[in-house]
Chains A and B, each alone.
Chain A
Amino acid sequence: MPSLKIVWKLFLVQISLILISLLAISLYVGFSLKGYFLEQVVSQLNTSAALVRDLVKEELTGGRKDRVDPLVKRLGKEIHSRVTVMDHRGTVQGDSLEDPARMENHGDRPEIRDVLKGKIGKSTRYSETLDMEMMYLALPITIDDRITGFVRVSLPLNEVENRVLHIYEVIGWGAVVAVLTSLILGFIIVRRMSGPVIQMTQAAGKIAGGDFSELIRTDTTDEIGDLARSFNIMSLELQNKIENLTREIGEKEAILSGMIEGVIAVDRDQRIILLNSAAEAMFNISSHRALGRFHWEMIRHSQLNTFFQEVLDSGSPKTKELTLYHDGGRILQTQAASISGKRDTPWAVVAVFHDITEIRRLEEARKEFVANVSHELRTPLTSIIGFVETLRDGAISDPEKGFRFLNIIAKHTERLDRLISDLLELSQIESGQTEMHLACVNLLELINRTVYNFRETAGWKGQTINVTIPQGLPSVVADEEKMETVLVNILDNAVKYTPEHGEITISAIDDNGFVKVEISDTGMGIPPRDLPRIFERFYRVDKARSRELGGTGLGLSIVKHILEAHGGTIHAESEPGKGSKFIFTLPKVTGFEER
């Protein structure tokens, strides 16, 4: 019990103080009283002895020695003391308590010897005759300066002892009462003092553990009460502060983790002190492992590592474009600034990483698009110009050649026309200008019809086209004409890029509010690097081959835009050498519209 410690300490001090003071008092009182009583006894004995001397003097000197003893016995009774009378040789002539004849010579008693030496004969000693501590006082009986005898008066000292003892007893009881009172009072005071202290100790422990609910109840107005009240105020303040801090940290963390940009902070020792979730994903590290580690351990990128060092050394903000080596080489626009402490030396660097891969890719795509359009338009035009020139230069006069050239020119014009109409269609769908004639479309019918048109071309290459669509497939809301374009484009690619005796499979399922159509082939496939880009305009996996096969390079782009305009999606999966799979979804007709 921790409370007892302080209680016992206080008690010990109190009790020892009480005991020491009482001891001092009792010793002083005891000694002084004893002295006083003894003086009293001495003066009383003196008076009695003087009186007895006068009374006995005559009898003793008068020779009537036999009358001495009865007189002494009477006087002894009167003054409540023992009286002894001796002659000058010390022989006892009368004693108030004993028979003088049986008493020995008293001449060698110290008080008698003192008297003989001319001093006051006084002695305190144990009387064997009476079996008690006695005080003896002797006076000489003198006649003409000659000692003829002695009178000795004695009183038992046990009276004095008793009185002193009684005083000690009173003081003793007083001490007991004082100790008890101080014990009780002390206990009460300590209880009142230590109660709040114990409470405060417990509350402080709870506060350290994060529980601010406990307040200390106190009704005293002394320092302990003040302390308890201050403690309560402190606890409340602390709670507010901690709540504010927690909220602030929470807000900051929410902001940081909500950021698309990666944020990494590195301290002077190059250890990572902050890492948000976007940065975790960018660099493929987890914050619980990375925090507190060196950045050059966790992110191995020489440019980034030196970049951090540069910013730390220079203290000025810097910007840099970094290309990552994993994850398809994402490009990060990095801005870093140092955080300066009080003494202007930067103690940390915060870097913000902005993923600009997509922006760069779009820029690249735009550049490529312009280049591609020019190139795509130019190829047929060059042929047309060439053949027209040849015709003009004389070939026109040769009907056979002329006809062949015109055919070629017509073919290239068709291609130009196709290209331009594809481009127009694409730009119309993209800008949302095309009118969509939405209706319920039965996909099974549409697919069967489209496939029918391909059977012939596929047949030439010995390819088989399988359609596995369940009868109860729900209809979709779509523009039938546009959906046909989608199917034609995908199937056209499938037939083109699948070698002879290949297989093309079309399947569709009802997938949770959507109809999911899969068109897979056993063709050459698409390298994974190109997969995300095949829906871009003019993007060609194999540049030479695709043009040879007569594509405009816009087909899949148109497909994607049509499907997106319908609220659907498309993506492709492929394994090079094994085949590709195009999966698109369309929203299905809900019950109401079907009726």
Chain B
Amino acid sequence: MERQFEKELQDLRKDLLKMGTLTEEAIANAVKSMVERDSDLARRTIECDCNIDSLEMDLEEKAIKLLALRQPMARDLRFIIKSVKIISCLERIGDHAVNICEKALELNKEPPLKEYIDIPRMTEAAQMMLKNALDAFINEDTDLAFRVCEDDQVIDDLDDQILRELLTYMIEDPHNITRSIRIIQISKYLERIGDLATNIAESVIYMVDARDIRHGAYLEDASQ
């Protein structure tokens, strides 16, 4: 009985990570399709999103079943509850990857505005945050999770920088405005991905330590 429960939890973990892996790959492919102007890859990535969506539904059902049938306590309960939250974060990240692909498809129809410098950097940062958040989840490593929360600032700064840079392009030539806005949107999506990765990291911290550090509680926590 107990072992069966363990196995079910393990299954949940496995599928959650599978979903995380697919999401990570979706972001990588989305940005790649934009930077390398590969419309085929963008289309493929959009198609792949249905896998993430079906996994979300599947996992949520599993989690609800576990809650209803096993009535878990303490750590297991936290794990299942936060898994549900992480699942929805991952699904949102997947959607953002699709959004980036859509924008990439539009951008690819027009000549390139400029060489992408900050977008790949931002992607790298966002990917690293998601990777670290998932690693923290696997290893139950709260230090790493805290680092993810701190890294969010880097992405926010890059987002601001992209906005400022593109503003100059728009001022220079009104023809640049459509493309610039698309790039700004992509930058926003990446910024949102960073936020969602932070949410995952916060969930991991709650899961492991039963500490809620959301909405500035972390600052108090750190000052203690």
Contacts and interface: CB of A to CB of B under 8 A. Distances in A.
Main SS at interface, chain B = helix
Given A296-B21, A302-B22, A527 B14 contact: no
A305 B18 contact: yes
Contacts of A296: 14, 17-18, 21
A300 interface: yes
Interface string B19-36: 011101100100010000
Nearest to B32: A329
A325 B18 contact: no
Contacts of A325: 24-25, 28, 127
A325 B134 CA distance: 15
Interface in A282-309: 294, 296-298, 300-302, 305
Contacts of A294: 14
Given A302-B25, A325-B24, A297 B17 contact: yes
A294 B13 CA distance: 11
B117 A300 contact: no
Nearest to A527: B115
Nearest to A298: B138
Contacts of A529: 120
B85 to A, nearest CB: 19
A308 B120 CA distance: 31
A189 B181 CA distance: 100
Q: Which of A294, A296, A300 has the most CB of B within 10 A?
A: A300
A527 B127 CA distance: 20
A326 B135 CA distance: 15
A576 B115 CA distance: 10
A437 to B, nearest CB: 42
Contacts of B28: 325
Contacts of B21: 296, 300-302, 305
Contacts of B20: 300
A292 to B, nearest CB: 13
A470 interface: no
A527 B117 contact: yes
Q: Which of A298, A305, A325, A527 has the most CB of B within 10 A?
A: A325
A577 interface: yes
A294 B139 CA distance: 12
Nearest to A293: B138
B134 A577 contact: no
A297 B139 CA distance: 9
A546 to B, nearest CB: 14
Nearest to B20: A300
A300 B134 contact: yes
A195 B66 CA distance: 63
Contacts of A542: 115
Contacts of B18: 296, 302, 305
Nearest to A325: B28
Interface in B1-56: 14, 17-18, 20-22, 24-25, 28, 32
Q: Which of A294, A296, A302, A326 has the most CB of B within 10 A?
A: A302
A561 B21 CA distance: 43
Interface in A261-318: 294, 296-298, 300-302, 305
B25 A577 contact: no
A300 B17 contact: yes
Contacts of B131: 300
A415 B157 CA distance: 47
Contacts of A298: 138
Contacts of B14: 294, 296
A577 B161 CA distance: 15
A298 B134 CA distance: 10
A516 B120 CA distance: 33
Closest 4 CB pairs of A and B: A300-B21, A325-B28, A297-B138, A302-B21
Interface of A: 294, 296-298, 300-302, 305, 325-326, 329, 527, 529, 542, 576-577
16 contacts: A294-B14, A296-B14, A296-B17, A296-B18, A297-B17, A297-B138, A300-B17, A300-B21, A300-B131, A301-B21, A302-B21, A325-B24, A325-B28, A325-B127, A527-B117, A542-B115
Given A294-B14, A325-B28, A527-B117, 20 more contacts: A296-B17, A296-B18, A296-B21, A298-B138, A300-B21, A300-B131, A301-B21, A302-B18, A302-B21, A302-B22, A302-B25, A305-B18, A305-B21, A325-B24, A325-B25, A326-B127, A542-B115, A576-B115, A576-B117, A577-B117
